Structure formats: C-alpha cells, structure tokens
Amino acid sequence: MKKHGKTPVVPKSIELIELHRKKCNAVWDTIIPLFFAFIVGSIFSLICKCSPIKLYSFILKKAFMSYGGILNTLGYATPIIMTGIATAFSIKAGIWNMGIEGQVFAGAFVSALAGYMIKGLPSFLHVTICLLIGAVVGALYALIPGILKAKLRINEVVTTVMLNSIATTVTGFLTQSYFGTGDAYAHTEFILETARLAKISSRYRSTTALFIAVVIWAILFFVLKKTKFGYEVSCIGKQLEFSDAVGMHVAKKIIIIFIIGGAIAGIAGTTEILGANYNFVNTFSANPGIGWDGFFACILAGSNPIGIMIYSIVFGALRYGALAAQTGLGVPLDLINVIKSALVLFMAIKLVSTHGDSIKEFFRKLVTKKGDKEEKEAKA
Amino acid sequence: MTLSFILSLLNMTVENSVPYLLITVGGVFVARAGVFNISMEGCTELAAFAGILFAFRTGNIWVGVIDAILFAVAINCIFYIFTVKLNGNLSVVGTGINLFAVCVPASLLQIMYGSRSNLIATKIIDPLKMMIDIPILRKIPLLNEVFNKQTFITYLTILIVWGLIIVMYKTKFGIAVRVTGENPNAAKSVGINTDRIKFYCLMISALTCALAGINLSVEQLGMYTIGMSANRGFICLSAINCGRKEPGKACIYALIFGFVRALQTIINNFVPVAISSLLGILPYASIIIVLLIVEMPVAKRNHLRFFKGAN
Amino acid sequence: MSESIIEVRNLTKKFGDFTANDNINLNIQEGEIRAVIGENGAGKSTLMNMMYGILQPTSGDILFRGNKIHINSPRDAINLGIGMVHQHFKLSPSLTIYENIVLGAETLRKTKIGKKVFNSFLIDEKKEREEVQALVDRFNFNLNINDKVVDISIGAKQRVEILKMLYREVDLLILDEPTAVLIPSEVDDLIERFKILKASGKTIIIITHKLNEVKMCADNITVVRTGKVIGTVPNTDDTTDEDLAEMMVGRPVLLRVKKSGKPCGDRIAYNVKDLNAVDSEGRAILKDINIRIHENDIIGVAGVEGNGQTELMLALTGLMDIASGSIELDGKDITGLWPDELRKQGVGIVPEDRYRQGLCRDLPVSSNMIAGYHDQQPYCKNEIMMTKAIKANFKNISKEYDVRLSHGDPAVGSLSGGNAQKVIIAREFSRKPKVLLVSQPTRGVDIGAIEFIHNEIFRMRDSGAAVFIISSDLSEVTGLSDRVLVMYHGEIVGKFKSGDVSFNELGLYMSGVKKMTKEELASL
C-alpha cells in the first residue's frame, strides 16, 4: 500500500557509500597537491624576482585565452598524450619503464633520416612510412630492457635509465659526426615536404599529429578496460605470482608490453620531428623531455587514461607558457620543472585517501586542546 | 701497454672510483634496510652544486663543504618523510626528487649568473692544490704512482668503506639494519624501531652522497656543470644489486665502474675528437654488460617458471 | 595453591566499528598449561597480542601477578616475563641462530679506560655464543647455533623462536599454533618440552585449533568464539572433541566427514612417471616420483613441509621445469604444459598459497572467479571481456559453493580465509575437471568451512574425478584419501591404504626412519 505524497526513503547500500567516499577522496587527492605545488612554485618564483600571481596569470592567458594559444598548447601536449598513455600501460602492469625518453629519441632519429633519405613518395605514404619506422625502432629499442627483465629478471628501472643515456649520446654523436649539415648547431638534414605533417592552422604548433595521439590514446584506453589483454595487464600489475599461476605467461606479456610502450614512444618522437622541428636536434625533446613529461603526467593521473589526457594538456600549457614566460618575463624555464616535481612529490603520498583520517584526528586533538585551555582559563 | 700506462690507469681508477664507492657504500645501508632509493642521483647532484655555489659566494671552501652536507641531509629527510612516514611510492618520490635536484641548480644559475651553464670556482679552489702529497708513499715505487697525490676525500673513502663494513657486520646497529630489511616484523617484535633505523641509514647515505658530490665538483674540477653526477646514482644502484646488498661485494662492482670511467678518460686522449663523445656511453653500456654477466648464470639455473614478488 | 600469573578483566579491543575481543575475563594460574581454542577470526590472536604488547586494549584491565599493568610494547612484556612465539616466525634468514636468539639484546664488548668500564660499539660474539650454547644444552634443544637460519628446517626454526623467549628468562610463554608445522614425533617432543618447562615453573598458553593435541597436554581449555569467551573447561575425559568443536562453532559439527564407500574406478586418469626435478643449485628436489590416480579416486601426500611437496605441486601445475619424467592425463601427454594449457585439458588447480598463487587480492570476487579461464567462452569473445557473463557466473557459483559475502562484489582481499578458499574451490570445481590437484585445502580455514570443503572434495571424487591432495594435516590426508603416499627428501618413501596405517607408523616414514622398496611401492 503506497503512502500518499511522500515516497519511502531507500537507504543507500554500504557499497555505494564507500564508492562515494573513494571518489571524494580522489578529488581531494588531486586538488591538494596542486595547492602545495603552487606554493612551492611561488616561493621559487619570488626567488626569481617575479610575482607568482603575475607568472601564473601570464601562463594561463598565453596558454588558454586565445585561439592560437590553445592550438600551441595542444601542439605541445600531443607527444605527451602519447608518452603518457604508453607509460600508463606499462605501469598498470607493474613495469617501471623509465626508458620512454630513450625510445622517443631512437624512433625520432631514424624517422628523421627516413624523412629526407626516402625520396619520391606521395605525402600520405611518406608520412605513414616514417611513422612506422619510428614505431619499429622505438619498439626494438624497448626490446632490450624487455628481454633483460623477462628472461633474466633484471630490474628495469636501472636498465631503462641507462639506455636513455645511451640513446641520447649515440643519436647526438651520429648527428654531429655523420648526419650533420655542418651548421653551428648539430642537426640532420631537413625532411622533405612530403614527410611533413599538415598543420591545423599555419601559424601555430598543432598538427594532424593531434588526431594520431587521440586515436592511440583511445585504442589503449579500450584495450585496458575491455579486452582480455587489459585484464591480464591489471592482474600482472597487481600480483605477479598469481598471474603466472593462472597461466598468463607473464614473461611473454612483459616483452609485449615493452614493445607497445616503445612503439608509441617512437611515434611520439616521430610526430615531433615530422610536425614541429622538421629535423633532428639533440635538444628537440625539451627540458626535461617529452618522455619524462609523459611519465609525470601518468603518475599524477594515477595511470588513469582520462587524467592523463587532462594532465597532458596541462603540461602542454606549462611548456608553452614557460617558453613564453622566459622571453616575456625573464623567468628561467626550469622553474616550471620545480612546480612539476613538487606536484609529483605531493601527489605520490596521496595525502587524503591514506592519511585523511589521521590528519582529521590531529586537527581534532588540536581543537579540543584549545577548547580545554579556554575552559580552564574561563574557570580560573 | 707500458708500465707507465698501466700505472696511470690504476691511478685514474683510484681517483674515479671515489664517488662510486662512496655512493655505493652508503646506499648499501639504505638498501639493506629495505628501501629502494633512486634519489641518490639527485642527492649527489645537489651536493655537488651546493658545494661549489657556497664556496664561490663566500670564498671559503669549508662553507661549501658544510652546505653540501646540509643540502644532502635535507633531501634525504624529504625522501624519508614522503616515503617512510607518509607511505609514498618509492620510485615516484625518488624520481620527483631527482627532477627537483636537477632543475633547482639550473634555475638558480640562470637567475644569478644569467646562463644555464657552468659555475667555475677555480679562483677559490685550485684542483691541483687538492692533491695531497704523502711523504711515506713518495718513497714506495709502485704505490707512489697509484696512490699518492690523491685528494683528501679519496683517502677518507678508504676509512669510510672499511668503517662502514665493520658497522654493518659487527655492531648492534648493523644487525638492526639487516633485520629491518629482511623481516621488519621480526625487528619490531624485539623492539627495533624500523622507521628510525631507516632514517639513520638515509642519513649515512646523505653523508656519503654529499662527500661524493664534493669530490666531483670541488676536489676534482673546482667547478660545477649541470648533470655532472652523470647517472652515478643509478650506476651505484646496479652495483648494490649485483653485490647482492653486501657492502664488500658492492664496492668491488663500484671499483669496476670506476675503472671503466678511468678507461674512458684515458682512451679519450687517443681517439679523434668525434669519437670522444661516443665514449660517453661506456659506463652505461658496461653496466648492462655487467648485469648480463652476473644474472645470466642465475637465470639459467632457475627452474621456476613464474616471477616472484616485487622489486 | 598456585597464584594467578596473568588475569584479564573485561578486556575489549575494537578496530573502528569491529569488536575483536568483547569483555573477556580470563585467569591463568602459574604453572598451568592453558589451551585457547577457537576458529580463525575468533579473536584468540588479538587477545594474545594484547598480552604481549603488540596491541593496546580499548578498555579493560590486565593484571600480572595481581598488579594492574600497561603493556605498551613487546619490550614491556618481556621485561615483565611474558614471551610469545608467533605462528609466522620472526627470524632473519641471513643471520645465524645465536644472532637471532640474542636479537635486540646483543652483548657488547667492554673496553677499559683507566678504572671505568665502558660498552664499546662492537658486539661480543664469543660471549653471546657461550650464553646461547648453555641455554641449548640446558633444555636439550638440538641446534647448531652457528647455522644460518635460512638453512635450517622449519621445526628447528620453531625451536629457535622458543629459545629466543627462554633467553630472555620469561615466566609466561605464549605459543601461537605451535604444532602447525611439525610431524607427529616432533609434536610429542614439543609436548614433552612443555611438561619440562612446566616442571621448572613456567606457565604456558597455547593457541591452537588442533583438538587432539590440546587433549594431550592442556590442563584447562578456554574456548573463544566471535570475540567472546564461551567457557573454560578442564581437560578431562568428559570433554570430547565434538563438545569442544561445538563450543567453537556454535552448532554441532561433523569432525570426520564420512566417505561414501564408492569404489575406485578402473581407468587410470592421471599418471605421473619417474618425475625428476632439480633446484637452482643443481640438487635433486624431486626424485623418481610415480603417482597413479584412477577415476573416483583420491591420492593424498603426507609429509613434513619442506620435503618436496611444494616443488611437486609446482611441477604438476606447470610452474616449474621438469628435468625428466612424464605426466599423462587419460593417456595424453601433458608433461611441461603451462597452467593455462593444463586447465584447458581439464586439470583443476587449488594452489598451496591461496593469496599468492590462487587469488588477486585487489580484484573483485567476480574477476577472481574467472581467472585462469578468462580467455575461454563465455567470459571472453574475440579478446573482449564479457561483463554480463562474468557477473552471471559470479552469482551462480557463489551460491552453489557457499561463498558468503556481506554485499555486492568486494575485493577478494577483504574476505575471510575460509571464504577466499571457497572462491578458488568454486572456480576450479565448477568446471568439473577430470583431475583435481589440491594443496593444503583447509589451511587457515575455519571449522565450519572445512566441513563444506571436505564434502565438495568427496562430491568431485564420486562423480568421476581423479583427486590429488597434499596436506600437512595428517588427519585430513588420511581422512580424505583412499591411498596415502609419504614424501621424504623429495622421494616417495611409503604408500598405504589410508585405513590400514597408524599415525605413528606414518610418522616413522615422514621422518625418514622407514622406507619402502620400489617393489613395495609398485605393488599397491
């Protein structure tokens, strides 16, 4: 028998309440590090004799407040979207592939060569071949730490960092000695017109690479969430021994995951060459490097693909804004990296979800102590 | 391959091994306590920078030395708070600190001196004066070429390595460190404060990384260049792993890497300028080769098909 | 009349909203051997942890020799004279036995400066060794104090743990599941040692769920259920195992599930021939293992842990390389196949360590219920995971295999040991495999769930499966199996019909005293 007027209140199940709490905590986890990071950034900004408010508003204006600015931001964000999702794929499997930067260099260098050495092809074919070459080279370079980990159980953190240095040194050397043009700064020949990616709007940085990035991002997102491979990746990331015990052939999967990461890193480097630089310079992957920016975006987003998209755009804005701020305000580029590292550090500790309760306790005790003190004073 | 070539190679090995030995032997304590610390790289870099900066600005080397130690300690305190006390992910916090330690010198240099390049303090510090001539050694023929005229920290390193090995195996603290890493529950059940042990180990590592940084910038060159620690922190992590976290064995690997570095410097004199930049990959390639040599026999004998737990 | 050595009054421990111990009142006399029994999760360990200072009570008092005390840490407990030997050993593998025993209380070398004597930084190893050796000799513990802990047996490790406490001269010794890892003769040894310790004035509290051992040595038995003390009964002939089990669970429990009596089939479903395996040092860890299991048959393996059972399970489930030998399923060669291929051939696997090999803690129950079969229809079509089919499977087999969930589809790590084990059993048994490889089916599982799991195993056997069971619980192995094999040092040394052999006889084979010849093994 229904009551008139009011509908009965249905109590939420415990599960829904837990989920709600987790989501709230996740939001706080994102906001609080931003807060602390910007404080740290402000301190350094003052050391650099620039008002933090002026700096932040300048960056915001440049990056987001104009059509050109947004295109530039997206242009800088493009490679980070790719390296970010590539890192996320590895980290979900518990593999700390810190070598994305090296794989970017490997892919970028060889594709830069292919960009001017392969002649007489229509544009569509030339671009596709360059991208493929970049992907293959990146994948092959990633195979080294992959096999070392899969067959010899060698920890990948150290091997990938070493390989990064090897990649940057070797490509720099080759550019200087064999493939250079003899100019003051070492760079390879400019790639042919047919290899260049079309810009979205001629004066700004975004190219069709943006669409490539988004497509790759979407594919990996789908694979992680919906496919069998994605299921296995999350199992491997959570419990290694279990994954092998249920027959997932973890060693093989590790090699595949490295290959995928390397291929995407190679494509990211290639798009920078084909779309922005048009040749290979050993400083093309600006400070600290598109691989590292992707790594940090991934960490800050907790390997969540949607978060990675957001952070990639934020980092793109920061990179563009920092460049502009250097010329416009005289602020050193590395200042932005200070903010990034502070962000990463504060994000790493997940302040709210892990320690939220103890922090609340701490403040409650502080408040009650104050209250007790006031009571005592009132009585006296 | 003349005798003088070998002797100068050994001499350079001694000189170049110092930072590797220092970072490694301090890092062994941290690793043994169960902490995977990749921020040793940033710690060394920042110490190298602080040493030169403060020596330059105050005109006094000792101020530089003390400040280098203070900065290293501060970095490791941050690492401790963020990982041990606040439970942050070790690799993430370590990488964050490394980035921080690389961009702070760069931005400060740009602010103070207008360009992101080197800080040369040779007016204050004369690298040649850093070399100490020991009268007793001068008289012994072979040892003189190899071990004499090294810097103060080089001689200190011998004491530090020997001393820390004794601490690890013959003192109560050393046993507490080993138990903390192997079985933290066992440590806690006998009243060992594992957090405090980890803190002390991080302080030891801060001290050794600071000395390594000072040796690199103040003693060897009298100047600071960006990225001068050149991934030594990671290289020493490999040394610790290959030496299975035992200080004696890890130091032997550190010596090997010092030797490779010395080799690189000497070969540099004999090759055309173009190739010399390529020589830069020698230390990195040597690590991968060492890892291969060490781990291949282990993997061959392993009949278990599955991967065991985490790092 | 002996005095009370330790008493707790209205002792309560809450973790947030969960009450682990609810107004416990207990009084233990000096020189008594008290057994505290209860199911997993009943709160026994929480109670003991409060007595040892690992946990602090939410409310209530602890009295030691009549005086109210606060035990803030294990150090306080030890200073009072209370020691605890944990179920999971707290030993450091790379240290020697004597170093582990003196851990935290190392003797320092003394240096003389003038007239004063100082403690130096260095450890006095000679003195430590002397003191520990004296202790080993006094209690006749049979240990070589210079051995590294990583190299000694599990029984020896337990003796080291006990010595750790005796070194600190405790009067009250608490032991958590002490016989979980011992063979019958070692259990007898341990109980004898308890009596020696009692005679020298020590008080002993044992936490256990092994009712037969409780009956062998305890003076009084306290039963704990869902955080409350149900009662304390003296250990007399009037108190039967069934009475105690009923107190532990709250309802009558069948301690021995009855076999149906259905005869074994004729066909050999699972045939292991001359299986050999080596470890990373090249030493043989499995030597010429031969196992034949028919349809409708259960073969059990008894043996002290560490004699190759773990390695045998790894080899049979495709997680370890086999040096030589073969495995056949219904005549088909399945040697060397990986776990996914084995499962496709109809082999069901219940692994030894459920949290490391059987389940993924952070994944929900529904995902765990398809693990290992996740690439097969209907859970996966064209590489895409079908969530509807996964959820449907989850609902169906959770009901069928009595997996108790308070709400929805939680992460498997939040389930009790018994429930988690049922998830694995639901997953593997529901596929109706031809062969079941099961290791430690009821380790860490409460008595109510044990009954259910044993019933399910019998059900699978009777419907045609060939079942292989490894268990360190002798009564479980003999109760479930049709035939029992004994393993010692990687070899099969004995084979019996389970009704035809006594525990003592089995114990002789398990400790390597007796060994059957190849002919005797082949005959059964």
CATH number of the domain enclosing A179:
1.10.3470
Contact between residue B181 and residue B32 where contact means Cβ atoms under 8 Å apart: yes
Is A92 in the same domain as A184? Answer: yes
Neighbours of B52 (CB within 10 A): 32
CA–CA gap between residue C60 and residue B241 (Å, rounded): 49
pLDDT at A4 over 60: no
CA–CA gap between residue C166 and residue C204 (Å, rounded): 12
Is C244 in the same domain as C276? Answer: no
Taking contacts as CB-CB distances below 8 angstroms, the residues of chain C near B186 are: 89-92, 100, 103
Is A39 in the same domain as A148? Answer: no
Looking at residues C43-59, what average pLDDT do you find?
Answer: 86
Residue C263 domain-assigned (yes or no):
no
Q: Which of C327, C227, C221, C194 is nearest to C272 (CA)?
A: C327
Residue A277 domain-assigned (yes or no):
yes
- For C287, the enclosing helix (H) or strand (E) is strand C284-294
Measure in Å the smallest separation between the Cα of B188 and chain C Cα atoms: 8
Looking at residues C212-232, what average pLDDT do you find?
Answer: 87
pLDDT at A1 over 50: no
Residue A306 domain-assigned (yes or no):
yes
Write down the pLDDT at residue A31: 74
Hey, are the CB atoms on B307 and A251 less than 8 Å from each other?
Answer: yes
Neighbours of A201 (CB within 10 A): 11
Q: Which of C301, C340, C325 is nearest to C494 (CA)?
A: C301
Looking at residues A140-166, what average pLDDT do you find?
Answer: 91
| Strand order, beta sheet including C332-333 | C284-294, C268-278, C324-329, C332-333
CATH number at residue C114: 3.40.50.300
Q: Which of C460, C456, C463 is nearest to C442 (CA)?
A: C456
Is A122 in the same domain as A157? Answer: yes
Query: Which residue in A14, A227, A242 is closest to C360 by CB distance?
Result: A242
Query: Torsion angle, CA of A349/A353/A355/A359, rounded to 10 degrees?
Result: 120
Write down the pLDDT at residue A3: 41
Measure in Å the smallest separation between the Cα of A45 and chain B Cα atoms: 10
Pairs of residues, one from chain A and one from chain B, whose beta carbons lie less than 8 Å apart = 163
Is A326 near chain C, with CB under 8 Å? no
Taking contacts as CB-CB distances below 8 angstroms, the residues of chain A near C385 are: 226-228, 230-231
Neighbors of chain B by Cβ distance (3+ pairs < 8 Å): A, C
Q: Which residues of B touch C (CB under 8 A)?
A: 166-167, 170-173, 175, 178-179, 182-183, 185-186, 188-192, 298, 301-306, 309
Q: Which of A301, A234, A326 is nearest to C363 (CA)?
A: A234
Is A300 in the same domain as A339? Answer: no
Hey, are the CB atoms on B99 and A288 less than 8 Å from each other?
Answer: yes
Mean pLDDT per 10-residue interval, chain B, length 311 residues: 82 91 95 92 93 87 92 94 86 88 84 76 72 75 76 89 92 92 86 91 96 90 84 90 90 92 85 77 87 87 73 34
Is B82 near chain A, with CB under 8 Å? yes
Average of per-residue pLDDT values in chain A: 83
pLDDT at C489 over 50: yes
Name the range with the highest mean pLDDT among B63-77, B175-189, C199-213, C217-231. Answer: B63-77
Residue C455 domain-assigned (yes or no):
yes
User: Strands, DSSP E only, in C114-258?
Assistant: 116-123, 172-176, 203-208, 220-225, 228-234
CA–CA gap between residue C489 and residue B47 (Å, rounded): 55
Is B187 near chain A, with CB under 8 Å? no
DSSP string of C457-485, one letter each residue: HHHHHHTT-EEEEE-S-HHHHHHH-SEEE
Q: Which of C490, C69, C33, C37 is nearest to C249 (CA)?
A: C37
Residues 96-135 of B with CB under 8 A from A: 96-97, 99-100, 102-104, 106-108, 110-111, 116
Hey, are the CB atoms on A344 and B95 less than 8 Å from each other?
Answer: yes
pLDDT band at residue C498 under the 50/70/90 scheme: confident
Orientation angle between helical segments B3-32 and B194-214, nearest 10 degrees: 160
**pLDDT tens, position by position, A75-128:** 899 999 999 999 999 999 989 898 999 999 999 999 988 888 888 888 888 889
Write down the pLDDT at residue C141: 76
Hey, are the CB atoms on B186 and C103 less than 8 Å from each other?
Answer: yes
> Which residue matches tokens 């960006």?
B226
Residue A211 domain-assigned (yes or no):
yes
Q: How many structural domains is chain A composed of?
A: 2
Query: Which residue in B38, B88, B238 is closest to A349 by CB distance?
Result: B88
Looking at residues C333-339, what average pLDDT do you find?
Answer: 90
Q: What is the 3-state secondary structure (H, E, C) of chain B?
A: CCHHHHHHHHHHHHHHHHHHHHHHHHHHHHHHCCCCCCCHHHHHHHHHHHHHHHHHHHCCHHHHHHHHHHHHHHHHHHHHHHHHHCCCCHHHHHHHHHHHHHHHHHHHHHHHHCCCCCEECCCCCCHHHHEECCHHHHHCHHHHHHHCCEEHHHHHHHHHHHHHHHHHHHEHHHHHHHHHHHCHHHHHHCCCCHHHHHHHHHHHHHHHHHHHHHHHHHHHHCEECCCCCCCHHHHHHHHHHHCCCCHHHHHHHHHHHHHHHHHHHHHHCCCCHHHHHHHHHHHHHHHHHHHHHHHHHHHHHCCECCCCCCC
- In chain A, which residue's Cα lies nearest the Cα of C410? A15
pLDDT at C77 over 80: yes
Domain ranges, residue C306? 268-523
Hey, are the CB atoms on A239 and C356 less than 8 Å from each other?
Answer: yes
- For chain C, the first-to-last Cα distance in angstroms comes to 57
Hey, are the CB atoms on C363 and A247 less than 8 Å from each other?
Answer: no
Is A219 near chain B, with CB under 8 Å? no
Q: How many structural domains is chain C composed of?
A: 2
CA–CA gap between residue C64 and residue C311 (Å, rounded): 46
Is A256 in the same domain as A337? Answer: no
- In chain C, which residue's Cα lies nearest the Cα of A249? C338
Contact between residue B311 and residue B241 where contact means Cβ atoms under 8 Å apart: no
Q: Which amino acid is at C240?
A: T
Taking contacts as CB-CB distances below 8 angstroms, the residues of chain B near A335 are: 103, 107
Domain ranges, residue A40? 29-48+333-346
Taking contacts as CB-CB distances below 8 angstroms, the residues of chain C near B182 are: 92-95
Please determine, for the modelled complex, whether the ipTM score is greater than 0.95.
no
Is C158 in the same domain as C289? Answer: no
Is C235 in the same domain as C273? Answer: no
The pTM assigned to this predicted structure is 0.81
- For C111, the enclosing helix (H) or strand (E) is strand C108-113
**pLDDT tens, position by position, C236-266:** 888 888 888 888 877 777 666 677 778 888 8
Q: Name C469's bridge partners.
A: C300, C438
Taking contacts as CB-CB distances below 8 angstroms, the residues of chain B near A153 are: 295, 298-299, 302, 307
Is C236 in the same domain as C356? Answer: no
CA–CA gap between residue B237 and residue C263 (Å, rounded): 62
Is A239 near chain C, with CB under 8 Å? yes
Query: Which residue in C343, C359, C406 is closest to A242 by CB distance?
Result: C359
Residues 321-340 of C with CB under 8 A from A: 338-340
Query: Which residue in A226, A244, A245 is closest to C385 by CB distance?
Result: A226
Is C239 in the same domain as C280? Answer: no
Hey, are the CB atoms on B284 and A165 less than 8 Å from each other?
Answer: yes
Q: Of C249, C277, C305, which one is at a domain's C-terminal end?
A: C249
Measure in Å the smallest separation between the Cα of B100 and chain A Cα atoms: 5
Write down the pLDDT at residue B295: 87
CA–CA gap between residue C232 and residue C221 (Å, rounded): 5
Contact between residue A105 and residue A171 where contact means Cβ atoms under 8 Å apart: yes
**pLDDT tens, position by position, A309-318:** 988 998 888 8
Query: In sequence order, which residues have a C-beta less than 8 Å from that of residue A301 and are 6 or more positions away?
Result: A84, A88, A307, A308, A310, A311
pLDDT at C360 over 50: yes
- In chain C, which residue's Cα lies nearest the Cα of B304? C320
Is C241 in the same domain as C278? Answer: no
Is A152 near chain C, with CB under 8 Å? no
pLDDT band at residue A337 under the 50/70/90 scheme: confident
Is C278 in the same domain as C422? Answer: yes
Write down the pLDDT at residue C444: 74
Is C115 in the same domain as C197? Answer: yes
Integer angstrom CA distances of residue B152 from A214, B53, B131, B155, B167: 57, 20, 7, 5, 22
pLDDT at C410 over 80: yes
Is A43 in the same domain as A118? Answer: no
Is A246 near chain C, with CB under 8 Å? yes
Residue A189 domain-assigned (yes or no):
yes
Write down the pLDDT at residue C377: 72
CA–CA gap between residue A98 and residue A258 (Å, rounded): 11
Average of per-residue pLDDT values in chain C: 85
Write down the pLDDT at residue A7: 46
Is C83 in the same domain as C148? Answer: yes
Is C220 in the same domain as C273? Answer: no
Is C159 in the same domain as C300? Answer: no
| CA geometry: angle C492, C496, C501, nearest 5 deg | 125
Residues 238-297 of B with CB under 8 A from A: 238, 241, 274, 277-278, 280-281, 284-285, 287-288, 291-292, 295-296
Is A187 in the same domain as A102? Answer: yes
Contact between residue C68 and residue C116 where contact means Cβ atoms under 8 Å apart: no
Looking at residues C451-458, what average pLDDT do you find?
Answer: 90
Hey, are the CB atoms on B183 and C91 less than 8 Å from each other?
Answer: yes
Hey, are the CB atoms on A240 and B88 less than 8 Å from each other?
Answer: no
Copy the structure tokens of residue A309: 């998209």
Copy the structure tokens of residue C184: 């019958």
Taking contacts as CB-CB distances below 8 angstroms, the residues of chain C near B190 are: 74-75, 90, 103-105
Residue of B182 and C378 predicted with greater confidence: B182
Is A178 in the same domain as A243? Answer: yes
Is C363 in the same domain as C489? Answer: yes
Residue of C485 and C407 predicted with greater confidence: C485
DSSP conformational letter for C12: E
Looking at residues A277-286, what average pLDDT do you find?
Answer: 82
Is A205 in the same domain as A341? Answer: no
Is A43 in the same domain as A150? Answer: no
Hey, are the CB atoms on A240 and B231 less than 8 Å from each other?
Answer: no
Looking at residues A236-264, what average pLDDT do you find?
Answer: 90
Hey, are the CB atoms on C105 and B190 less than 8 Å from each other?
Answer: yes
Hey, are the CB atoms on A245 and C408 less than 8 Å from each other?
Answer: no
Q: Of C249, C281, C306, which one is at a domain's C-terminal end?
A: C249
Looking at residues C337-363, what average pLDDT do you find?
Answer: 89
Write down the pLDDT at residue A5: 44
- In chain B, which residue's Cα lies nearest the Cα of C317? B305
Taking contacts as CB-CB distances below 8 angstroms, the residues of chain A near B296 are: 152
Hey, are the CB atoms on B274 and A342 less than 8 Å from each other?
Answer: no
Is A229 in the same domain as A296? Answer: yes
- In chain B, which residue's Cα lies nearest the Cα of A359? B86
Taking contacts as CB-CB distances below 8 angstroms, the residues of chain A near B104 are: 44, 334, 338
Is A318 in the same domain as A341? Answer: no
Q: Which amino acid is at A323?
A: L
Neighbors of chain A by Cβ distance (3+ pairs < 8 Å): B, C
| CA geometry: angle A233, A238, A241, nearest 5 deg | 95
Residue A355 domain-assigned (yes or no):
no
